[in-house]
Structure 1
């Protein structure tokens, strides 16, 4: 006959904590943090516009400027790069890893089409600033229909 084992809340909490620690160590080996707000969607973005241009600013503190790559296709801006670790991993067991230093990519949906050949980008003080000239809408023209 099966016996029931009574578990106390403290025992369940200890088990949950042990499992959390195990997964934290596994993910840390891959450079991934499961802490809220840690590059969940990628780097933070600020977008502004005026009548002729879009200005996108991406926060990339510590990013390697030589690794940054930008591409624009239709109305999507893709920002890619790497954030190198500021320190070497310890030979022992890490107790906490709260930073993410891995390759990253962020797809930014633009509100309109832009002139891809005229996009300009600068990187200073951990901020990538991208200026995208808007593709101005062509005037509509009427077309005469001839009846045969």
Structure 2
């Protein structure tokens, strides 16, 4: 006779292995708190593209202002960081009825190594619609050259 046992609903580790064969590895790691869905993760997602003339970096950082960012280049290391805290003006107003309000603070710091083939003095940065965009131009000698046809004699 089989005994029915109630699963412990408080232990996420107990349920991780129940459906392991039917889950993808990413879903399994997310459930364990190791994936991008972890709420404590503060690193924004980044897209990096290379064109013939430059590198383009796009970073998803909604809810910030351009004043919250600090972008620095030290030798060939590009560092992007930001910090934003909740404005405390609301807490000093009269007639504010908070049942619960927790302070909010978000920050991150990401660094990228740039190749020697970039023009570091001409990097452009723009923040719009929650996306920080950087354009990092290449030096002339590193730019993609057009295809040249060589005549055979």
Residue of structure 2 equivalent to 1:45: 46
Distance change (3 Å), C-alpha of 1:122 and 1:109: same
Backbone CA RMSD of aligned residues = 3.6
Residue of structure 2 equivalent to 1:63: 64
Residue of structure 2 equivalent to 1:54: 55
Aligned length: 107
Whole-angstrom CA distance in 2 between matches of 1:128 and 1:93 = 29
Whole-angstrom CA distance in 2 between matches of 1:48 and 1:39 = 27
The TM-score, its normalising length taken from structure 1, stands at: 0.54
What aligned pairs does 1:1-148 form with structure 2 within 5 A after superposition? 36-37=35-36, 38=39, 40=41, 42-85=43-86, 92=100, 101-110=105-114, 112-113=115-116, 114-137=118-141
The TM-score, its normalising length taken from structure 2, stands at: 0.53
Distance change (3 Å), C-alpha of 1:123 and 1:64: same
Q: Unmatched 5+ residue regions in structure 2?
A: 13-32, 92-97, 143-153
Indicate the larger mover: 67-76 or 114-123: 67-76
Q: Unmatched 5+ residue regions in structure 1?
A: 1-8, 18-33, 139-148
Deviations 1:75-121 (A, max 9, x none): 33211112334897967587xx9xx73221111234x2321110001
Q: Does the Cα contact within 8 Å between 1:83 and 1:102 map onto a contact in 2?
A: yes
Secondary structure at 2:85 match in 1: coil
CA drift at 1:127: 0.2
